[in-house]
Structure 1
Amino acid sequence: MTLSSYAQGLLAVTIATVALSTAGLMTRLVAIDGPTLLFLRGAIASVFLLVCLLASARGRVFADFARLGWSGLVICATSAACAMLFIGALYTTSVAHVAIIFATCPFVSAGLAFLILGERPSRSALVASGVALAGVLVMIGSGEEGTLAGDALAFAMTFMVALWTVLVRRHPDKPALPSTIVSCLMSAAVALPLASPLAVSSHDLLVVLVFGVFAFSLGFLLLTIGSRYLPPVESALIGALDAPLAPFWVWLFVGDTPADTTLIGGVIVLAAVCIHILSARWTAAGSVAPADN
């Protein structure tokens, strides 16, 4: 059975979200400052993905990078900004505040997609986004104070993620691997002057190595691929799964028991995303049914 482009996009973005949701767990397992973590993560990911590109493209490596063009470099820079702002937000405000601010991403994506692409979001996507936002509000009902600077970084990250999904949707011809490699190199280069990679312990380096390869590298690559086939509002909606998944990984590996509000809100977010995906599938099936008669 061959999956449609839309189904491939859903699968890729969902797997990417699960992988990238482990970022909060990584920050709990290491004692590294933000710039050093950003540098190591970007450097490790870029080296790993470059090896993958060399193995798969062989004689087409330089041609693939050349295909990026100026629009591709803008996408890379936007992606790098997302990573830098995300790490900065995690280190300067509460995880709860980052979650609630990022939960507005589907609405920002919908607005940008309409302005830049002329795409009107489906009613079901907007309703599901609203339900997901309500779920995140329930999750932080126990209250956790943030900081003005950290919240500003989270807002900037949310806008940049929304812009990135729209740009990837607008330029689906840009090669995913080179784009992700350049993005990782950009974030690592910006962080390097403030980083202290030689002071990192072997334990922390191993943790960042594992997460850099299996979570960040593959997660961002799949997100880049999947976002080509989905409306930006839907990519952002699936990304809202990060809110319940992040505390789940911390509970599973560190043992921190989430509050009841986190569990209830997480179920609401998960239900909103799942119902929307099923609704989209039923709509697609209904639209092709007459052709089979």
Structure 2
Amino acid sequence: MGETRRGQEGLGILLLVGSAVAFSTAGYFTRLIPVDVWTLLFWRGIFAGLFVMGVLVWQHGADAWRSIPAMGLPGLSVTALSSSGMIFFIHAFRHTSVADVAIVYAAAPFVTAGIAWLWLRERPSRGTLIASAIAFVGVVVMMGGAFRLGNMLGDLFALAMTLSLSLMMVVLRRHGDRPMTAAAGLSPLLTALLVLPFATPGGVGSIDIWHLALFGVLQNGIGLLLITWGTKMLPAAQGALIGALDAPLAPVWVWLAFNEIPPTLTLMGGAIVMLAVLGHLLGDRRSAVLAQTDSP
């Protein structure tokens, strides 16, 4: 039983690291594709949703449709929370600075831990909380300590995004027995539907459509799949902490693609976040090995 659980936790870590890598490419694709944000969200949602629903059909064949009613109210909640988080994310960037959004979202492990404790009575380990605090400091350093509460509306959108995604992770953890792949496919399609009145889908060229397809599949579709599967296997706060890897990885892709060398503070803060997350994961594995050694 212990071996099975540790194997499941290891798989969960790999899946969530993969989701952080996928989500971290958002800045690269946003810089690459010269269309307005609403059209970007629309096409990304269409391609991501079709990709995930295709995976669902590949998994279950003709019975794929049965997983939609089977996910029940929890699945609908995940769909709504994921979609609202995406929209709040964009609104936050339109009303406040990147630094404010990043620093507010860096509090996600603490918000997730609080919700998980109140709802599931799932207490985060001291190591998770310490690593989360160190990662938070790293994000603040990355942004040059630039949090200023310059625009309250934008900061509230960033907080709403953080609450939405934290709640989503706790719901996924709470209902790990439900099939949630359909929710990962429906949420970007719902986002596309909601932003359609503001988008201009027909004004996109063929090259941009190709890039939007990659954006939808590689960043949003794969990211949603991996976070949906991985969150079920780990404590909610630990899953949110692993998601912090998004922050230091995001400038790497822009650096490699556009030769934009990140500022020194970005590199220093990113290193702090990476060390916090990786140190926590290595410490957890070491504790598991020691526990196994000590057990009769």
1:212 paired with 2:216, answer: yes
1:201 paired with 2:205, answer: yes
Could you tell me how far 1:176 is from its partner in structure 2? 3.0
Uncovered stretches (5+) of structure 1, i.e. residues with no partner: none
Could you tell me how far 1:129 is from its partner in structure 2? 0.4
1:63-120 CA distance string (max 9 Å, x none): 1112111121111111111121223333443322221111110110111011110011
1:167-212 CA distance string (max 9 Å, x none): 1000012223211111122111111111111112223222111121
Counterpart pick for 2:53 among 50, 55, 59:
50
- TM-score, structure 1 as length reference: 0.94
1:82 paired with 2:118, answer: no
**Aligned residue type for 1:261:** L
Counterpart CA distance in 2 for 1:256 and 1:182 is 35
SS at match of 1:120: coil
1:64 paired with 2:73, answer: no
What residue is the counterpart of 1:151 in the other structure? 155
Counterpart CA distance in 1 for 2:40 and 2:96 is 17
- TM-score, structure 2 as length reference: 0.93
**Aligned residue type for 1:13:** L
Could you tell me how far 1:142 is from its partner in structure 2? 6.9
Could you tell me how far 1:163 is from its partner in structure 2? 0.7
Counterpart CA distance in 2 for 1:163 and 1:144 is 24
What residue is the counterpart of 1:254 in the other structure? 258
Q: Is the 8 A contact 1:128 1:272 kept in 2?
A: yes
Counterpart CA distance in 2 for 1:90 and 1:23 is 13
Could you tell me how far 1:58 is from its partner in structure 2? 1.1
**Aligned residue type for 2:204:** V
SS at match of 1:141: coil
Counterpart pick for 2:100 among 97, 100, 104:
97
Could you tell me how far 1:5 is from its partner in structure 2? 1.0
What residue is the counterpart of 2:170 in the other structure? 166
Q: Is the 8 A contact 1:176 1:221 kept in 2?
A: no
**Aligned residue type for 2:258:** V
SS at match of 1:181: helix
Counterpart pick for 2:243 among 224, 230, 239:
239
Counterpart CA distance in 2 for 1:230 and 1:223 is 11
**Aligned residue type for 1:220:** L
Could you tell me how far 1:9 is from its partner in structure 2? 0.7
**Structure 1 residues 200 and 92, CA, compared in 2 at 3 Å: closer, same or farther?**
farther
SS at match of 1:174: coil
Could you tell me how far 1:128 is from its partner in structure 2? 0.3
Q: Is the 8 A contact 1:79 1:161 kept in 2?
A: yes
**Aligned residue type for 1:141:** G
What residue is the counterpart of 1:18 in the other structure? 21
**Structure 1 residues 164 and 142, CA, compared in 2 at 3 Å: closer, same or farther?**
closer
**Structure 1 residues 213 and 263, CA, compared in 2 at 3 Å: closer, same or farther?**
same
Q: Is the 8 A contact 2:82 2:187 kept in 1?
A: yes
Counterpart CA distance in 1 for 2:181 and 2:135 is 31
Q: Is the 8 A contact 2:89 2:158 kept in 1?
A: yes
SS at match of 2:232: coil
Uncovered stretches (5+) of structure 2, i.e. residues with no partner: none
**Aligned residue type for 1:12:** L
**Aligned residue type for 1:226:** G
Counterpart CA distance in 1 for 2:245 and 2:94 is 21
Could you tell me how far 1:157 is from its partner in structure 2? 0.6
SS at match of 1:121: coil
What residue is the counterpart of 1:111 in the other structure? 114
**Aligned residue type for 1:109:** T
Q: Is the 8 A contact 1:131 1:269 kept in 2?
A: yes
Task: Output the aligned Cα RMSD.
Answer: 1.8
What residue is the counterpart of 1:188 in the other structure? 192
